[in-house]
Chain A
Amino acid sequence: MTSTTTTPGSATTAVALSGVTKVYGRGTNAVLALDGVSLDVAPGEFVCLVGASGCGKSTLLNLVAGLDQVSGGQITLAGDANPGLMFQEPALFPWLTVDANVEVPLKLRRLPRAQRRERVAELLRTVHLADFGRKRPHELSGGMRQRVALARTLALDTPVLLMDEPFGALDAMTRDILHDELERIWSERKLSVLFVTHNVREAARLADRILLLSSRPGRIIYSTEVNIPRPRRIDSPEVAAIAAEVTERLRTEVGRHGQ
């Protein structure tokens, strides 16, 4: 079993996967979740990974985040990056205030208290929640919780952000606004983002590049650059055109499983 390796100093890619394979189980029960996935995310690039359900999108992010081990192939992260991971649920710690949630990664990195306080305030300002530090997660709306989660992930000070359908559970209005927010933060902080979604429009709205992952086993079957100037609106005709194109590919892929 090859483990995730980190090779420092590769400046051209922030994240590189080469021939990554993931098998769950053993023997006859073994399921091939990912089959030789190769992809690169350039520094500062926003890549959206689109696929139907069961294509191993979440598995892929877990592997890149180092929460799971690859069965084959290699994952390379630029520098010492420990990528930040966001989930569909905010996964905030309910026993902590908003402030304390954002502070956790800073504490784990043993930053002194004064510095931590400063960073927490700065991060909450970034996500427009400066006044909500003393609230508990359950006192906030779904969109606000997801922004706290974003602030907490940003507290890792990592250049690489992995997002697993982070806005999937939100209403359309909140989602639109968070797209604007994420785009702003991504461009301000020059992040490299690998964003998983099944929402093709969302991908067209956000991505520099869209990758389509096939289902069972997961494999990259299509890739397209999105050259629409930013800022974009999700309801613009250009975004719709790209979305239509990707949807067509996705339907063909889903249809393949119905035969």
Chain B
Amino acid sequence: MASDTLTSSARTDAEITGLDALEIAGRDKEVSRGARIWAATWPKLAALAIAIAAWQIVVWTGWKPPYSLPPPLEVGRELVAQAQGPQLWDGLVTTLQRAALGYVFSVAVGLLLGLAVARSTVLRAAIGSMITALQTMPSIAWFPLAILLFELSEKAIFFVVVLGAAPSIANGVISGVDYVPPLLKRAGRNLGARGLNLYRYVIAPAALPAIVAGLKQGWAFSWRSLMAGELLVSGISQTSLGAQLTYSRELSDAPWLLSTMIVILVVGLVVDAAFGAADKAIRRRWGVLDQAGQ
């Protein structure tokens, strides 16, 4: 070990700093917040305008009588009127409570099940493919059985919501854990993360994108199952959004029916947007977001 290593170190310092500056240059790109939001918003607004225009044109053609297909303006007025009364909000609260309860329970079941299957080869052989099979089962096909087991009750809806959502969430966890790069696991173990710490410091965060994808898909399934359930099991509750769809159809109240559908659509979009934001935040942190796009 020669001590004159140090004499060359000042030069090396300059070289390193210079090289870093050259390689990093041009990587930071700032776009103003307002411009970003506008860029993300205007295509959505344009699409919405086109959809409403198409709807209005179909109404004008007289393809269906106005009592079965009302024009957008009339549905808009109904929506405003609904928003002022308690009925819509009661329905929304009832439905969202069911959704939250069913979803939270599905998340708990899905995460535990996914983790158990990912860890145990015996469990994987036993039920791994069954989880995928469950996932492909249309949730509405569960209702006859659910009604036999629990009658026309909240429990029947809950049962189907969980069966719809939990397998997707479990599958997200399984594929997330499966696809953790072995190199990261080796690095983690070498840094001293063993057993539970390996899960905490390496596997769980590395699996997060797939887990979020599973959670998002699980939400979509649980929301669909819930709507199907509320349509079928409408007798037990006057207020839920699904029940309001059924009643509005029975009363041939097309504006009410369509305004309720819009509310259902908006709820779905809002939750989806929340998952989308979470997914994007993760991808940005990980550096897998295309810098030119978005």
Q: Are B190 and A84 in contact (CB under 8 A)?
A: yes
With an 8 A cutoff between CB atoms, is B43 at the interface? no
- With a cutoff of 8 Å between Cβ atoms, the chain A residues found around residue B184 in the complex are 91, 93
Return chain B residues, CB-CB under 8 Å to A141.
Answer: 19-20, 23-24
Task: With A94-B287, A138-B287, A231-B2 as known contacts, state yes or no: A173 contacts B192, CB within 8 Å.
Answer: no
Q: How large is the interface on B (under 10, 10 to 19, 20 to 34, 35 or more residues)?
A: 35 or more
Q: Which one of A67, A136, A140 lies within 8 Å of B24 (CB-CB)?
A: A140
* Residue of A67, A129, A144, A180 ringed by the most chain B CB atoms within 10 A: A180
Closest to B287 in A: A138
Question: In the complex, are the beta carbons of A152 and B208 less than 8 A apart?
Answer: no
Interface SS of B by simple majority? helix
Residues 100-127 of A, flagged 1 when their CB comes within 8 A of B and 0 if not, give 0000110111000000000000000000
* Cβ B191 vs Cβ A152 within 8 A: yes
A230 to B202, CA, bound (A): 39
Q: CB-nearest residue of chain A relative to B1?
A: A187
Question: A229 in the interface, Cβ–Cβ < 8 Å?
Answer: yes
CB of A14 within 8 Å of the partner chain = no
With beta carbons under 8 angstroms apart, the residue of B5, B20, B191 that contacts A183 is B5
> B66: CB under 8 A from chain A?
no
Q: Are B2 and A137 in contact (CB under 8 A)?
A: no
Partner of B16, one of A181, A183, A229: A181
**Hey, which chain A residues are within 8 Å of B2, CB to CB?**
229-231
Cβ of A177 < 8 Å from any Cβ of B?
yes
Given contact pairs A91-B183, A138-B286, A143-B23, A67 touches B189 in the complex (Cβ within 8 A): yes
Judged by a CB distance under 8 angstroms, whether A128 is at the interface is yes
Residues in A with CB closer than 8 Å to B273 are none
Assembly CA distance A184 to B206 (angstroms): 34
In the complex, the chain A residue whose C-beta lies closest to that of B192 is A108
Q: Is the CB of B1 within 8 A of A95?
A: no
Q: Does A168 contact B (CB under 8 A)?
A: no
Point out the residues of chain A lying under 8 angstroms from B250, CB to CB: none
Interface flag for A89 (CB, 8 Å): yes
B44 at the interface (CB under 8 A from A): no
Total chain A interface residues with beta-carbon distance under 8 A: 45
A12 located at the interface, meaning its Cβ lies under 8 Å from any Cβ of chain B in the complex: no
Q: Which residues of B contact A230 (CB under 8 A)?
A: 1-2, 4-5
Residues of chain B within 8 A of A181, CB atoms compared: 12, 16
Once A184-B12, A187-B1 are accepted as A-B contacts, the answer to whether A87 and B187 lie under 8 Å apart by CB is yes
Q: Chain A, 189-230, contact with B by CB distance < 8 Å: what is the 0/1 string? A: 000000000000000000000000000000000000000011
Q: Residue of A at shortest CB range from B198?
A: A108
A95 near B206 with CB under 8 A, answer yes
A142 to B155, CA, bound (A): 55
Residues of B within 8 A of A109 (CB): 192
Choose from B4, B12, B187, B189 the contact partner of A177 (Cβ within 8 Å). B12
Interface core residue of A65, A82, A93, A143 (most chain B CB under 10 Å) = A93
List the 8 closest pairs (A to B, CB-CB), nearest first. Answer: A138-B287, A141-B23, A91-B187, A108-B192, A105-B191, A230-B2, A85-B190, A94-B286
List 18 interface pairs A-B (beta carbons < 8 Å), by A numbering: A67-B186, A67-B189, A87-B183, A94-B287, A95-B206, A95-B285, A96-B205, A104-B193, A108-B201, A128-B16, A128-B20, A132-B20, A138-B287, A139-B24, A180-B8, A184-B6, A230-B2, A231-B8
Residues of A within 8 A of B (CB): 44, 62, 65, 67, 82, 84-85, 87, 89, 91, 93-96, 104-105, 107-109, 128-129, 132, 136-141, 143-144, 152-153, 155-156, 173-174, 177, 180-181, 183-184, 187, 229-231
Chain B residues near A (Cβ < 8 Å): 1-2, 4-6, 8-9, 12-13, 15-17, 19-20, 23-24, 27, 183-184, 186-193, 197, 201-202, 205-206, 208, 282, 285-288
User: Could you list 20 further interchain pairs (A-B, Cβ under 8 angstroms) beyond the known A67-B189, A93-B184, A105-B191?
Assistant: A85-B186, A85-B190, A87-B187, A93-B201, A94-B287, A94-B288, A95-B208, A95-B286, A104-B193, A108-B192, A128-B20, A138-B287, A138-B288, A139-B287, A141-B19, A143-B20, A153-B191, A156-B192, A177-B15, A184-B12
